[in-house]
Structure 1
Amino acid sequence: MRSLYTLVLVLLFHFSYSQFRIKSISPAINQQDSFNAKIIETLEEFLETKDPKFWLDSDFKRFKSPYYEIIGIENGKLGNNFYQPSVMEIIPTDENDKRIVKIAFIGYNSETKSNLIKAIYNVIAVKKGDRVFFSKYIDYATKNWKIKNEDNVTYYISPNKNFNIAEAEAQKKDIHMLSDFFGAEKFPITYYSTISPEEVFKLKGFDYHPMMYADKSGGFAEGYNIIFSGNNSEYYTHELVHLFTSKLFPKINPYFDEGIATYFGGSGKFDYKWQKEKLKNFLTENPGFDAFEHLDIYERLFFEKETPIPYVISAVLCEMIISKFGKEKLFLVLKNGNSVEEGLKTLNLNKNNMNYELRKFLKN
């Protein structure tokens, strides 16, 4: 059965976003073909309602919310429903009951008289009897990938890279360490190992997405025990931490979620020790910097293009809680899911003293 979480999520999206319909269909698509015609009919109903009944049940069991990537994709700075869906292609596969559906989300700017593209997204259409259901693109994208099993981790290895057993062994050690720290049993993990964020987005179904090219490395922890790595590595402890916290602390505040992940796994190419030293230097060189004014974990604020300052400050705060009160106190903060300001009260921190106490701790 689909999880209650998913059904509630979809209902919220249904009421939060305005409906929109297919704007255009490529003339290259044979609409006289009965399978194609049913795909278009079903796709329009799905895009208009985001109803999970148009999606395979098996996807919900694996991915929790399998089409979250396109929820709200029609909205942007130029308005709600600005980016309308166009069906570019319906492509046969080597299975008669499955076809690839390529959807572009395009908006027309009347002021500049130009078309703007938000994304190009692929889904798999599956025919079952006289009905069509949609499924994520990922299994088709990885059908020729190598699979390696290491302890509780199943690695899917991009054809563009070689499997690194040393990194897999290091990841195995960190899994044991995190299991001990959080007091949690190991669980099965699926790890998609790619060479870049661009390849990660392609794996997730995007031919184009603006974030594909924003960074040279990165990835996601997602759904039920899944890691997408664009770091050309079998080692990604930062995202691994998110799998533990999502299970143990479902209400966790994103600020502390990224903080504890950075504490154990660093960020980008560098570990927490390196990032912490960079933060110390940054605060020394910028004595007027007010950390309390930068509690937004999504703020793209970097030092030397490598240190995401809000991430590292949150990691330092997590370390301060552990060192002063023990990990049980940190678990309480993570479990409660309070605002950042409420979490700071654990350390008796506020706007007036946070900068002083943070700098003092970093000097130790």
Structure 2
Amino acid sequence: MNFNFLFFTLFFILFSRAQEVKTVFNDEFIKSCGINNEEYTTIKNSFSKYIKDFDVSTSVNYWIINEKSVFDYPDEDFVNLMLESQKENLSIFIQAIKKVNPDTYQIELSFLKNIDCKLEIYTVYKVFAKLTKSEFKYINNIDFEKKYNKYQTKTITFFSENSIDFNQANVFEEENKNLSKFFETDIINFKYFKSKSVYNFMSDRGYLLERTMLLPNQNGAETFVGENLIFSGNNSEVNIHELTHLYIFKCFPNRHNLIDEGLATYLGGSKGLSYKEHLKNIYLSIKDKNINLYNELFFGNYVVDDTSSLWYTAGALLCDIAVEKGGKKMLFELINSGKRNIDLFKKIEDIFSVEEDKIDDLLKHELKRKYDQYYP
């Protein structure tokens, strides 16, 4: 195969019309994968129609729904990939189709981005197509491979490749009660997928390549707040940070992302470190540098050792000093500030008497004060 010609043709097709998500099939290679022309044509037409007619509200109709599944909506990951494709102007290259049993096929998809006239791989994802009643419906990898076992405690449904530690599960149950009391709301029933790393749970969901799978610190998680579902890569039955997100989502519709992540870090730490440990890392990293923390916070991405993020830590710091100043009442006011930056700036001014152009000074002062307090 002439790969230079293939990618020239691919580039021309994918980016000649930039506003819609386009699909290209690697015809020559796919036909060499052991499926006949009739099978290939049927799958190709079915998938092309799904993408062409894609709509978030009806997407799930193309998927096989299993009440025992990890996901309530089996298309959750694919919908997010499609939304990302529309936002980032990605295109889909169907690179391989493999028959895995008489009525089911594995489809490998590369999501490609045009960066400076070069095709770069954004994400690689696999999905399964099953022939049912003369039509193809899709199955996500986590349902098809079913590498997990399922365990139930009072309010938590655990999914894990290995057995779970029920002593730790009971600890998480207690933390769930505590958060319910803290947020003054009913206790949340939720699902928790325990995994050894981000790479593992992303792979279980069908990702072959995705940015977070390559991060040096794999102690991370992803929460689907609309499904009360947590994927945790900390190899533990407990993840207070992610559970906090479920309560914030339930109680504060006008939350700003900075305070959402900040409160989750303030109460539950992140990346295996407590809020106070993150504060120490950030303070020691910036104290002798000429850094504008306002600019880094809202327009940059300041991170120390791939672990301590200014975004998470500064958000937690604002929560900390709000509690110090006015208790939980003032903290809840801060969380419910509004989703826009301008709303958050107004709330910071109301609570801390600091205008937007002085946020850098506020953060530097409070980082030092809290560091001295926690590490005398």
TM-score by length of 2: 0.78
| Equivalent residues in 2 for 1:7-18, closer than 5 Å | 17-18=19-20
Are 2:257 and 1:254 aligned? yes
Quote the Cα distance in structure 2 between the aligned partners of 1:173 and 1:109. 48
Please point out which of 109, 116, 124 is paired with 2:128: 124
The aligned residue for residue 323 of structure 2 is 322
| Equivalent residues in 2 for 1:60-79, closer than 5 Å | 61-62=72-73, 65-72=76-83, 74=85
Are 2:110 and 1:104 aligned? yes
Are 2:244 and 1:241 aligned? yes
> Is residue 180–residue 187 contact of structure 2 (8 Å, CA) maintained in 1?
yes
Secondary structure of 1:349's aligned partner: coil
Count of residue correspondences: 336
Please point out which of 160, 173, 180 is paired with 1:157: 160
Quote the Cα distance in structure 2 between the aligned partners of 1:130 and 1:251. 46
> Is residue 137–residue 204 contact of structure 1 (8 Å, CA) maintained in 2?
yes
Quote the Cα distance in structure 2 between the aligned partners of 1:66 and 1:326. 38
The aligned residue for residue 304 of structure 2 is 303
> Is residue 63–residue 74 contact of structure 2 (8 Å, CA) maintained in 1?
no
- Return the letter of the residue paired with 1:105: F
Instruction: After TM superposition, give the deviation of residue 121 of structure 1 in Å.
Output: 1.0
TM-score by length of 1: 0.80
Please point out which of 225, 228, 231 is paired with 2:231: 228
Structure 1 unpaired stretches of 5+:
1-15
Q: Deviation per CA, 1:51-99, whole angstroms, max 9, x where unpaired?
A: 23453384885468442331255579xx834x44224123334xx6544
Are 2:369 and 1:358 aligned? no
Quote the Cα distance in structure 2 between the aligned partners of 1:109 and 1:256. 33
Secondary structure of 1:323's aligned partner: helix
Quote the Cα distance in structure 2 between the aligned partners of 1:155 and 1:85. 35
Secondary structure of 1:247's aligned partner: helix
Q: Deviation per CA, 1:266-312, whole angstroms, max 9, x where unpaired?
A: 110111232233344345x3364332222239x54223443212211
Are 2:31 and 1:22 aligned? no
Quote the Cα distance in structure 1 between the aligned partners of 2:115 and 2:282. 42
Secondary structure of 1:67's aligned partner: helix
Percent identity reads 19
> Is residue 89–residue 113 contact of structure 2 (8 Å, CA) maintained in 1?
no
The aligned residue for residue 3 of structure 1 is none
| Equivalent residues in 2 for 1:160-309, closer than 5 Å | 162-215=163-216, 216-222=218-224, 223-283=226-286, 285-286=287-288, 288-296=290-298, 299-309=300-310
Instruction: After TM superposition, give the deviation of residue 157 of structure 1 in Å.
Output: 0.8
Quote the Cα distance in structure 1 between the aligned partners of 2:120 and 2:363. 43
Distance 1:109 1:23, change over 3 A: farther
> Is residue 238–residue 265 contact of structure 1 (8 Å, CA) maintained in 2?
yes
Instruction: After TM superposition, give the deviation of residue 166 of structure 1 in Å.
Output: 3.8
Quote the Cα distance in structure 2 between the aligned partners of 1:322 and 1:265. 16
The aligned residue for residue 352 of structure 2 is 347
Q: Deviation per CA, 1:27-61, whole angstroms, max 9, x where unpaired?
A: 12524344x53332121122234223453384885
Instruction: After TM superposition, give the deviation of residue 317 of structure 1 in Å.
Output: 0.2
> Is residue 150–residue 159 contact of structure 2 (8 Å, CA) maintained in 1?
yes
> Is residue 94–residue 107 contact of structure 2 (8 Å, CA) maintained in 1?
no
Distance 1:45 1:176, change over 3 A: same
Instruction: After TM superposition, give the deviation of residue 208 of structure 1 in Å.
Output: 1.8
Higher helix share: 2
- Return the letter of the residue paired with 2:156: V
> Is residue 194–residue 200 contact of structure 1 (8 Å, CA) maintained in 2?
yes
The aligned residue for residue 335 of structure 2 is 334
> Is residue 121–residue 207 contact of structure 1 (8 Å, CA) maintained in 2?
yes
The aligned residue for residue 150 of structure 2 is 147
Secondary structure of 2:270's aligned partner: coil
Are 2:62 and 1:55 aligned? yes
Quote the Cα distance in structure 1 between the aligned partners of 2:363 and 2:37. 67
Instruction: After TM superposition, give the deviation of residue 256 of structure 1 in Å.
Output: 0.8
Distance 1:117 1:292, change over 3 A: closer
Secondary structure of 2:354's aligned partner: coil
Quote the Cα distance in structure 2 between the aligned partners of 1:271 and 1:132. 47
Distance 1:249 1:126, change over 3 A: farther
> Is residue 219–residue 228 contact of structure 1 (8 Å, CA) maintained in 2?
yes
Quote the Cα distance in structure 1 between the aligned partners of 2:317 and 2:298. 15
Quote the Cα distance in structure 2 between the aligned partners of 1:361 and 1:50. 52
- Return the letter of the residue paired with 1:48: K
Secondary structure of 1:71's aligned partner: helix
Instruction: After TM superposition, give the deviation of residue 255 of structure 1 in Å.
Output: 0.8
> Is residue 110–residue 125 contact of structure 2 (8 Å, CA) maintained in 1?
yes
> Is residue 319–residue 334 contact of structure 2 (8 Å, CA) maintained in 1?
no
